[in-house]
Structure 1
Amino acid sequence: MNRSQPQLQWLFLKLFLVSLFFHFHTSYGDVGTAAQYSSPYFPTACYGSDASNFPSGNFFAAAGDGIWDNGAACGRQYFVRCINDSTPDACNQNQTILITIVDYMGQPPFAHSTYNTTMVLSNTAFETIANSSTASSYINIEFER
């Protein structure tokens, strides 16, 4: 019986390590692109002309096809941060914001050039995570629900 005791201990140790791995596994979210859009922000695909559903602080976005989910994205919140790309100093480092989806990019006023982006951020949201001196109208982002 003493021979099986070390095997049981090994088994429990393996199970413990596997459970630790799943417990502390870090998710970095998805990667995409973001553009910015200016007011007027109304009407929206999610809330029409009702501004009461917009988040305070003006951290909101319009969803691209990849996250729109046939309208189920309305009201979803995402943590978003700018990640460096080929444009030097495009990002304000260590800035992560929480945005709310309030619109869909598949309808006006969005330009055709924004259709391939993951989301179009309000000016306030875009300027918080992107360096104001960047000449780029698009940034690479990491986002997570």
Structure 2
Amino acid sequence: MQKRIQILSDFLYMGIFISLLLGSNGYAQKFDQEYLKWKADQDAQDARLKGPNTATSQNYYLAKPSLVAVTGNKVSLNQANAEQLQTLSGVGLKKAEAIIAYRQKNGKFKTIEDVQQVKGIGPALFAKNKQRLGL
């Protein structure tokens, strides 16, 4: 009789264990599905709030218009965009982008002579544009 009770209690404990195991697995799956749905909704909401990301689609400094980059006939090395830098003699798109990249990496130019540290801008090009350069 006692052996029979022992076997029944073993089955009972096994049944409880299996039901707990299966029940928690079902709960975990339901939780995962609900979380994924919530995460997708949150990502969609974030995308609506942020709008299109123009910083990754184009260079911020090349696209940013500047109100004081060109004063009179001087071009500000610290504020001019690529289009404004290209108005300098001998400066095309590549050199304008190099000036902007140098400015982004090293900070603002302290003197107009510092522009000669940019690759492709030598003493001759600097001398041609010295009168038109400003900070």
TM-score, normalization by structure 1:
0.29
Which structure dedicates a bigger proportion of its chain to strand? Answer: 1
Which structure dedicates a bigger proportion of its chain to helix? Answer: 2
Structure showing greater relative contact order (alpha-carbon pairs closer than 8 Å, 6 or more residues apart): 1
